[in-house]
Structure 1
Amino acid sequence: MFLHLKNILTPQEVQTARTLLGDDAPWRDGRSSAGGQALAHKRNEQLAQDSTQAQQLRALVLAALQRDALFFSAALPKKIFNPLFNRYSGDSNFYGNHVDGAVLRSHYPEQWVRSDLSCTIFLAEPQEYDGGELLIREAQGERAIKLPAGDMVLYPSSTVHQVAPVTRGARIASFFWIESMVRSLEQRQLLFDMDMDLLRLRAAVGEGAPAVVGLTGTYHNLLRMWADV
């Protein structure tokens, strides 16, 4: 599942994030959080997790996710790794090909999170920097993603991906991982497709139509069968 979610953050929230992520923020070498595979390929800066700015930004991002119904339908989140924040610019400007760790330690709260889905919320506008595309390897080729500030991409954590070198300006983003209630990518995709079709059917024939009631029941029975809470 690759999903572009628009306006996860409002323009005001993006501006708040940008202010908190200025040059005076406690940026650290991003390699401090890299695993063995990624260490040699990671050159970026990461906001100190124990900083006041990180605390405020985590709350901002998590509140935004809670109000987005499309995110919930696609991810069916069981656990959310505490949102992190990074910057690519200058000499700290790329992250080579890697696969995200399967199980990661989230500090706020203290918990292990299985990485079913990876998320990036873009916080800089595309025209503010050159390069910096999120490049995701697929069977049919490489997908390049560079979204407006406030938009998010959701994609399987099992994919090989990288951040292309930033050659001008600064790429600022939030990133985190989701452990889904439905572990299977295929089952999660089927549920999402059914939910989207149900929305269209409700709009066409109304909430109380027998087909809507029946298919809604099928959706929830499948979720009941597949979900682990």
Structure 2
Amino acid sequence: MLLHIPEIFNPSQVETLRNALQSGPWVDGAASAGPLAAEAKHNLQFSTEAEEYPSLAKTIAAALERHPLFLSAALPQFILPFMFNRYTGGGNYGDHIDNAIQTDRNSGQRLRTDISVTVFLSDPESYEGGDLIIEDTYGAHEVKLPAGDAIIYPSSSLHRVEPVTAGERIAAFSWVQSLVPDAWQRSMLFNLDMTLIKLRSQVGNSEEIVALTGHYHNLLRQWSR
């Protein structure tokens, strides 16, 4: 499921994050990629050794964990520490699929990557190119969102970042291990949850709404691991 999560941060919060990231230190992004992906990765990443890094990474995760749309769609069990990338001067990331297993740099725990997350921190008018292209069974989807918005998509998707030909594109990115590993089951639960919210706003907590809510939780109980 490809889903736009709006307004993770407001413009003032985005500006604060960008200012904290602006001076770096930035390092070669290929250093954190696998052998195959490293050949396609041409960007910079904010150093995870920087003093400011832990606080910035926690700020992104905390904001997402407060967003009801993200919680409903991702059903997060674990969120890997966020990192930050910067594309400029033709920087790009060619076609690749994210590693299935990643290691949490804080706990050392090895986690399955079910969902990839990108939080855009640069205004789309401030740079040219830099579209995130995500491919699925319905074709290629071009994603270039307002600063402060996020996109989530299956980590199994083939995707790329087009060259940034002017300006700079800064974003935060991470991966989620979901309580429900199966993407189709997550999508079913999300659609059911969204429908329940709409029906509840129209008719209140009727007997039928309560029964459907029970079915949602029983499915979640059955499908979660």
Encode CA deviations 1:139-178: one digit per residue, 9 max, x unaligned: 3321100000000000000010000000000000000000
Partner of 1:38: 37
Partner of 1:28: 27
Partner of 2:18: 18
Per the normalisation by structure 1, the TM-score is: 0.96
2:221 is the alignment partner of 1:224:
yes
Q: Partners in 2 of 1:56 and 1:15 — Cα distance?
A: 16
Task: Assess if the C-alpha contact under 8 Å between 2:114 and 2:156 holds in 1.
Answer: yes
Partner of 1:7: 7
> For 1:191, which of 182, 189, 204 is the aligned residue?
189
Task: Assess if the C-alpha contact under 8 Å between 2:131 and 2:161 holds in 1.
Answer: yes
Q: Partners in 1 of 2:193 and 2:106 — Cα distance?
A: 31
Structure 1 runs (4+) deviating above 6 angstroms are none
Task: Assess if the C-alpha contact under 8 Å between 1:117 and 1:154 holds in 2.
Answer: yes
Question: What letter matches 1:77 in structure 2?
Answer: P
Partner of 1:114: 112
SS in 2 for 1:104: strand
| Identical counterparts, % of pairs | 45
Per the normalisation by structure 2, the TM-score is: 0.97
Task: Assess if the C-alpha contact under 8 Å between 1:13 and 1:60 holds in 2.
Answer: no
1:62 CA displacement? 1.5
SS in 1 for 2:181: coil
Q: Partners in 1 of 2:26 and 2:98 — Cα distance?
A: 22
1:108 CA displacement? 2.5
Q: Partners in 1 of 2:50 and 2:84 — Cα distance?
A: 12
1:33 CA displacement? 0.3
Q: Partners in 1 of 2:118 and 2:101 — Cα distance?
A: 18
Structure 1: stretches of 5+ with no match in the other structure: none
Question: What letter matches 2:150 in structure 1?
Answer: M
Task: Assess if the C-alpha contact under 8 Å between 1:83 and 1:174 holds in 2.
Answer: yes
Q: Partners in 1 of 2:57 and 2:138 — Cα distance?
A: 35
Task: Assess if the C-alpha contact under 8 Å between 1:25 and 1:53 holds in 2.
Answer: no
Q: Partners in 2 of 1:175 and 1:109 — Cα distance?
A: 18
